[in-house]
Amino acid sequence: MKRIALFIAAVVLSAAAFAVEPGERLADANQEARAREVSKALRCVVCQNETIDDSHAELAKDMRLLVRERIKAGDSNEQVLSYMVQRYGDFVLLKPRMTGETLVLWFGPLIVLVLGGFIVARRLRKAQPAAAAPAALSADEARALSELTKNESAKKDSAP
């Protein structure tokens, strides 16, 4: 039931309008550019995975207007974002802040890269002494090679 209710609310709210409309814009181009930047970092809370800058929802439009009001009133970008976070929680930020909860998110890729790199490096290092002694071609390889050189000139390989 709740689900249905929200769905209805969302549909009704998104019935009209567009993303940023001419009337919404601030006269000061610099402030307007900042407003766009802030809007692109904020998630539309009635739609899913859309920025308020892109969203057609009415609530997103009102949030855009609020962002502009606050910027006009002299808030910094960070202050506007904090204002929204105070009301909607971290959920409203599309780029999560670096906190204890998001450490894994932010450093996960690096950890994977380092661990993976470590495994790869070990494999490469271990290989070096063996690779130093050129291996004899197996019968199959020799046959394959002769076939390749017969049919395809020179360069030994081909790839994807």
Partner 1 sequence: MSSPEISAPPKRWPLVVPLVVVIALIALFGKRLADVEGGDDPRLLPTVLLNTPFPEMDLAALPNRAFGGLATTDLKGEVSLVNVWGSWCVACLAEHPLLVALNKEKTVPIHGIAWRDPPEASLKWLAQHGDPYTRVGQDPRSTAAIALGVTGAPETFVVDAQGVIRYKHIGPITPEVWQTKLAPLIAQLKK
Partner 2 sequence: MLIELGHFALALALLVALVQGTMPLLGAARGNPAWMAMAEPAAIVQSLLCAFAFAALTHAYIVSDFSVIGVAQNSHTAKPLLYKISGVWGNHEGSMVLWITVLSVFGAAVALFGANLPRTLKARTLAVQGLIGAGFITFILFTSNPFIRLNPAPAQGNGLNPLLQDPGLAFHPPMLYLGYVGFSVAFSFAVAALLEGRVDSAWARWVRPWTLAAWVFLTLGIGLGSWWAYYELGWGGWWFWDPVENASFIPWLTGTALLHSAIVVERREALKSWTILLAIITFSLSLLGTFLVRSGILTSVHAFAADPARGVFVLALLAVAIGGSFTLYAFRAPAVDGGGVFSPISREGGLLINNLLLTTAATTVLLGTLYPLIADALELGKLSVGAPYFNAVFVPLMAPLVILTGIGPLLAWKRGDLAGALQRLKAAAGLAALALIATLALNGVDLINIAAAGGMAIAVWLFAASVTEWLSRVRGQDGLSWQRIVNLPRSAYGMTCAHLGMAVLVAGVTGATAWKEERIESLKPGEHIELAGYRVTFNTARDVRGPNYAALQGEYTVTRDGAAVATMRPEKRNFSQPVQQTTEAAIHTTGISDLYVVIGDMDGAEGAFVTRVYHEPFVPFLWYGVLLMGLGGLVSLSDRRHRIGAARRVSAPTHALPAE
Residues that bind partner 1 (CB under 8 A): 1-6, 8-10, 12-13, 45-46, 48, 58-59, 62-63, 65-66, 84-89, 91
- 86 is a site residue for partner 2 (CB under 8 A): no
Q: Which of 53, 59, 49, 54 is nearest to 9 (CA)?
A: 59
What is the closest distance, in whole angstroms, from the C-beta atom of residue 2 to partner 1 in the complex? 4
Both tokens assigned to 86 = 């105070």
Chosen residue from 6, 16, 33, 65 binding partner 2 by CB under 8 A: 16
Distance (Å, whole) CA 83 – CA 145: 68
Distance (Å, whole) CA 66 – CA 68: 5
What is the closest distance, in whole angstroms, from the C-beta atom of residue 86 to partner 2 in the complex? 14
User: What does 66 interact with, of partner 2, partner 1, none (CB < 5 to 8 A by kind)?
Assistant: partner 1
User: What does 37 interact with, of partner 2, partner 1, none (CB < 5 to 8 A by kind)?
Assistant: none
Which of 30, 153 has the CB closer to partner 2? 153
Long-range pairs for 17-24: beta carbons < 8 A, 24 or more residues apart: 17/56, 17/57, 17/58, 17/61, 18/56, 19/53, 19/54, 19/55, 19/56, 19/60, 20/53, 20/64, 21/61, 24/61, 24/64, 24/65, 24/68
Which of 8, 121 has the CB closer to partner 1? 8
User: What does 58 interact with, of partner 1, partner 2, none (CB < 5 to 8 A by kind)?
Assistant: partner 1
- 105 is a site residue for partner 2 (CB under 8 A): yes
